[in-house]
């Protein structure tokens, strides 16, 4: 890791952005002095993330949770994965922040200040599941390039903001609108100002949903810097790459948005299943929309030791993109037989659902507990790996934990 280089290249202003606060007395610091928080430590972890979060890359910053850290119904800031494609904006002045709505399919482009957005439109709060399309990538074979996410690139925080649909209505959109694309203030890794790290989007049907927000708060506080302060598009249930951070613009398009990471194998999978390792032509790739049914056992932590005869209560969450999860089953015999867990309804559409079950084990020994969710259309999670695809997206295999009964 070349953290030192990263720090030397940045300015004190950028440090403050990373820390989320101003460095008081910065003008009194000896020349060339590097504050402790910016030396060998990772600024996200020191004040914002739990030390148990796993850093996958620091250029750009990417970190994931471990299953047992995600036990809360509402994911707290410190356990939320970070996925950045570029460099976090180095100067953020929320008093000057604007959102521009433009594109072929708006009648007249319009620009709003943050204050306009907050005062002109009604606010809503929803808990929304955000899962990176590449969550679970590390299991694919042949291996797929990219962050080697295991299971921790998923969160379900509480987001507060205004409806994108209310803003689009205020601007006035044309009948030929088919897609929206977002623009963020982050910086390309090459620092070339003409390049965008990412600019993705979604069809109008998703853009106009009640739960699709322009959010300014997460878990009742301003959105943390790493998660898109001061404004973020949040589209729950779809690959989290649709939820643009540090949002400066939305383009309403008369065709499928063609921004960075909308084409090739980015967030796209073969429309029909292929052999592992097979080359797939561009026109045979389809954009990922709703995420597949999935679940996570968040209690106990894998490796738990249980006293014989005492039994165990397992806990976790299940989610299924646009759909509700209908059933959650668990198995202690490697998937030979399954029992139903208790599954709660979601607090709102697109929020994950909690489950728990009282598990008993027949005798001492090693066991694995597997969880399998079924969505409202009857789709079940595969027990092991689902279909291979070039970038290793959509791994919704059953989550498993190991336990020893002694």
Ligand X SMILES: Nc1nc2c(c(=O)[nH]1)N[C@H]1C(S)=C(S)[C@@H](COP(=O)(O)O)O[C@H]1N2
Pick the closer one to Mo ion by CB: 21 or 286: 286
The distance of Cα 45 from the centroid of its chain, to the nearest Å, equals 18
Q: List the interface residues with ligand X, window 61-100 (CB under 6 A).
A: 80-86
* Pattern 63-92, Mo ion, x by CB under 5 A: --------------------x---------
Radius of gyration of the chain (CA): 22
CB of 391 to ligand X, least distance (A): 11
Nearest to 138 by CA among 383, 393, 384: 393
Q: How does DSSP classify residue 77? A: G
| Contact partner at residue 127 from ligand X, Mo ion, none, CB < 5 to 8 Å by partner kind | none
β-bridge pairing 247-253 and 98-102: parallel
Q: How far is the CB of 267 from ligand X (least distance, A)?
A: 8
Binding mask 155-194 for Mo ion (x = CB under 5 A): ----------------------------------------
Q: Hey, what are 252's tokens?
A: 């309403």
CA distances from 85 to 61, 184, 282, 345, 349 (A): 8, 11, 22, 34, 28
Does 147 bind ligand X (CB under 6 A)? Our answer is: no
Residues 304-363 that bind ligand X (CB under 6 A): none
- Region class of 362: left (phi > 0), else alpha (psi between -120 and 50), else beta: alpha
Select the residue interacting with ligand X from 43, 152, 244, 249 (CB under 6 A).
244
246 binds, among ligand X, Mo ion, none (CB under 5 to 8 A by kind): ligand X
H or E element at residue 232: strand 232-234
- Residue facing ligand X at closest CB distance: 184
The C-alpha atoms of residue 288 and residue 296 are separated, in whole angstroms, by: 21
Chain centroid to CA 15: 24
Four-point Cα dihedral 339, 345, 351, 352, nearest 10: -20
* Residue of the chain from 144, 240, 296, 314 that contacts ligand X (CB under 6 A): 240
- Residue identified by tokens 């999670």 is 381
Q: Which strands make up the sheet holding 325-331, listed edge to edge?
A: 304-306, 399-405, 365-375, 325-331, 339-340
Q: Of 69, 99, 132, 164, which lies in the binding site for ligand X, with binding defined by CB under 6 A?
A: 132
198 binds, among ligand X, Mo ion, none (CB under 5 to 8 A by kind): ligand X
Nearest CA to 155 among 220, 89, 63, 225? 63
User: Based on CB atoms, which residue is closest to ligand X, 69 or 132?
Assistant: 132
∠ CA 266-269-274, rounded to 5°? 135
Based on the shown chain and the rule CB under 6 A, indicate whether residue 149 belongs to the binding site for ligand X: no
Pick from 43, 121, 177, 186: which binds ligand X (CB under 6 A)?
Answer: 186
CB 242, min distance to ligand X, A: 7
Strands 365-375 and 325-331: antiparallel
- Binders of Mo ion in range 230-269 (CB under 5 A): 241
Q: In which element (H, E) is residue 3 found?
A: helix 3-9
Check binding of 198 to ligand X (CB under 6 A).
yes
Q: Which two tokens stand for residue 362?
A: 């027949």
Q: Per CB under 5 A, which of residues 322..381 are in contact with Mo ion?
A: none
Is 128 one of the binding residues for ligand X (CB under 6 A)?
no
Q: Contact between 245 and ligand X (CB under 6 A)?
A: yes
* Minimum gap (Å) between residue 201 Cβ and Mo ion: 14
Based on the shown chain and the rule CB under 6 A, indicate whether residue 137 belongs to the binding site for ligand X.
no
Mark residues 119-158: x for contact with Mo ion by CB under 5 A, - for none: -------------x--------------------------
Q: Provide the 3-class DSSP secondary structure of residue 264.
A: coil
Q: Which residues here bind ligand X, judged by CB under 6 A?
A: 80-86, 130, 132, 155, 184, 186, 197-198, 227, 240-241, 243-246
Q: Which residues here bind Mo ion, judged by CB under 5 A?
A: 83, 132, 241
């Amino acid at each position: 890791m070349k953290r030192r280089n990263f720090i030397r290249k940045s300015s004190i202003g950028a440090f403050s952005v990373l820390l989320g606060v101003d460095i008081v007395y910065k003008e009194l610091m000896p020349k060339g002095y590097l504050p402790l928080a910016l030396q060998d430590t990772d600024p996200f972890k020191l004040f914002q993330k739990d030390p148990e979060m796993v850093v996958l890359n620091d250029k750009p910053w990417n970190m994931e949770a471990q299953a047992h850290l995600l036990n809360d119904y509402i994911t707290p800031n410190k356990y939320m994965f970070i996925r950045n494609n570029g460099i976090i904006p180095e100067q953020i002045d929320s008093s000057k922040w604007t959102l521009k709505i433009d594109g072929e399919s708006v009648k007249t482009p319009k620009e709003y200040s943050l204050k306009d957005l907050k005062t002109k439109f009604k606010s809503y709060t929803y808990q929304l599941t955000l899962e990176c399309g590449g969550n679970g990538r590390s299991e694919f074979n042949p291996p797929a390039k990219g962050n080697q996410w295991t299971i921790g690139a998923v969160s379900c925080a509480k987001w507060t903001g205004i409806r994108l649909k209310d803003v689009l209505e205020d601007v006035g959109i044309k009948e030929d609108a088919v897609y929206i694309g977002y623009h963020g203030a982050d910086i390309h890794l090459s620092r070339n100002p003409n390049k965008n790290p990412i600019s993705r989007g979604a069809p109008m049907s998703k853009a106009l949903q009640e739960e699709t927000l322009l959010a300014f708060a997460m878990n009742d506080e301003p959105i943390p810097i790493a998660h898109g302060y001061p404004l973020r598009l949040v589209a729950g249930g779809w690959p989290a790459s649709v939820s643009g951070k540090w949002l400066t613009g939305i383009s309403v398009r008369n065709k499928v948005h063609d921004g960075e990471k909308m084409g090739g194998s980015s967030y796209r999978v073969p429309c029909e299943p292929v052999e592992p390792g097979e080359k797939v032509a561009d026109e045979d790739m389809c954009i990922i929309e709703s995420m597949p049914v999935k679940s996570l056992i968040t209690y106990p932590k894998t490796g738990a030791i249980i006293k014989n005869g005492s039994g165990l209560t397992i806990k976790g969450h299940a989610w299924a993109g646009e759909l509700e999860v209908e059933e959650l089953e668990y198995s202690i015999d490697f998937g030979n037989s399954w029992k139903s867990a208790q599954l709660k309804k979601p607090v709102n559409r697109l929020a994950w659902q909690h489950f728990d079950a009282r598990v008993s084990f027949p005798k001492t020994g090693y066991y694995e507990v597997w969880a399998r969710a079924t969505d409202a259309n009857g789709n079940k999670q595969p027990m092991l790996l689902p279909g291979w695809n070039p970038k290793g997206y959509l791994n919704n295999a059953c989550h498993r934990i190991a336990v020893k009964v002694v």
